[in-house]
Amino acid sequence: MKVIEKVEAIKQQEITATENLEQMYSTIEEKNDDINAFVQLDIEKARKTAEDIDKRIKNNEETGKLAGLVIGIKSNINVEDFIISAASPTLKNYYGSYNATVINRILDEDGVIIGLTNMDEFAAGSSTETSMYGPTNNPKAPGHIPGGSSGGSAAAIAANMCDITLGSDTGGSIRNPASHCGVMGFKPTYGMVSRQGLLDLAMSLDQIGPFANDTTGIGLMLNVICGYDPYDTTTINKQPEDFLKDTTNSTLEGQTIGVVKEFMDITDDKITSQINKSIDDMTSLGAEIKELSFEDINLGLPTYYLINYVEFFSATRKYDGRKYGERIEEVCGAEVARRIEIGSYISQKEFSGKYYNKALQARSLIRNEFNDLLNDVDVIAGPTVPKLPHKIGEEIETMDMYAYDVLTVLANITGIPASSMNSGLVDNIPVGLQLQAKPEDDHKILSTMSALENN
């Protein structure tokens, strides 16, 4: 049953919100000890919400767009009365005192928030192994990482523990785990969704977005969370069109799909072969394929990480152990410490011109060149991640960990929308097809996903 069909079934009381919640909770009870997707639950609060929705439906009262759907939230998004730890010992006792804008919008539309999902500490990672709660297991490839940093949110969808989850994406943290776990993940255009209430990793790169098992789940949540927020000055001041309209598409006639040669060149051959099958499917659906070249691909990772280091260092100065939490440098893990140390170093006046300012120049170059590529096509299609996920606990070099992000960071650097959906299996492990489009062309991406899904 598609997510939109479930909402209609709940509104018609073919199934109740309470029944949906209890089914999901039963799955979490059965699987979470092994998967570790959820790190905190509030089933009693969720039950009260579900009972209230059922009561209103029986009384023929109006209910919201998400009526009775079970929602999981990444642990770096403020939800009142939950521990908003960002999976770090720094904030292990920090209870959210307010709701992020996206949370209020979910509650206003009668979503049932069941709990918080696991993640890399402060979203600094690509494997969900750096969490203070321990690693998350990949439901679709047991023993392997689920990707990161939103690994818990992706795993919860892959294990059918809830209907929709939220993650955050700074350099691929929604799309990377969506790829490894074989689910759909969507990073909207920068500014399409409010970041108010998100514990930022790098404020000029972060964006909140949804995970689901089908496009109606993605479209439904985008309808709820997108839109201007006076509390976040980076949000785009206009109301987006209905995303659900994009989920009934079954053709790509008249569409031009770009394929970037360099994206394929740096990807494992087996993954490239699988992605090419998806591109063939797009041709069968009527799309014209256009080969593109992006020679500055090697600029992506260093540009991204230099900006990330400086902005993360700045963001963490509030974790000084005075107002709340503990002093971050005294309790954080190795990757967070590395980013703080490097960020501190290159933020110094004598180095900012040498590193940070050059990264900002490179960002402008990448943005201009990538937008030029997008001028000739509707969507760019290619692999989400260039290699298969490693096994949990396997020692890999820092640069090898960063290399997971080489194909995803470009969308954050440029602020464009991007998604990942399952392309198939390689060695019994899911691999994702990444779709990218011009700023505010989020609808084109969802429509393309829908065409592939409906055929």
> Are 366 and 299 a contacting pair, CB within 8 Å?
yes
CA 322 from chain center: how many Å?
Answer: 31
Nearest to 155 by CA among 168, 142, 169, 172: 142
Residue type present at position 18: T
Measured on CA atoms in the order 118, 146, 415, 4, is the torsion positive or negative? negative
Rg (CA), the chain: 21
Of 85, 149, 150, 447, the catalytic one is 149
Neighbours of 289 (CB within 10 A): 15
149 is catalytic: yes
- Give the span between the Cα atoms of 131 and 93, in whole angstroms: 15
> Are 346 and 352 a contacting pair, CB within 8 Å?
yes
**How far from 242 is each of 71, 218, 327, CA to CA, in Å?**
21, 12, 44
And the tokens for 147? 């990707």
245 is catalytic: no
- Give the span between the Cα atoms of 328 and 345, in whole angstroms: 17
Of 173, 419, 420, 450, the catalytic one is 173
- Long-range contacts for 92-101 (Cβ within 8 Å, ≥24 apart)? 92/132, 92/325, 92/326, 93/325, 94/324, 94/325, 98/197, 99/197, 100/194, 100/196, 100/197, 100/198, 101/194, 101/196, 101/197, 101/229, 101/231, 101/232
And the tokens for 231? 């509390």
Of 6, 74, 187, 444, the catalytic one is 74
Nearest to 90 by CA among 337, 286, 394: 337
Residue-wise DSSP of 28-83: HHHHHHHH--EEEE-HHHHHHHHHHHHHHHHTT----TTTT-EEEEETTB--TTSB
> Are 75 and 84 a contacting pair, CB within 8 Å?
yes
- Give the span between the Cα atoms of 330 and 336, in whole angstroms: 11
Strand 418-426 to 164-169 pairing: unpaired
173 is catalytic: yes
- Give the span between the Cα atoms of 392 and 128, in whole angstroms: 9
Query: Catalytic site residues?
Result: 74, 149, 173
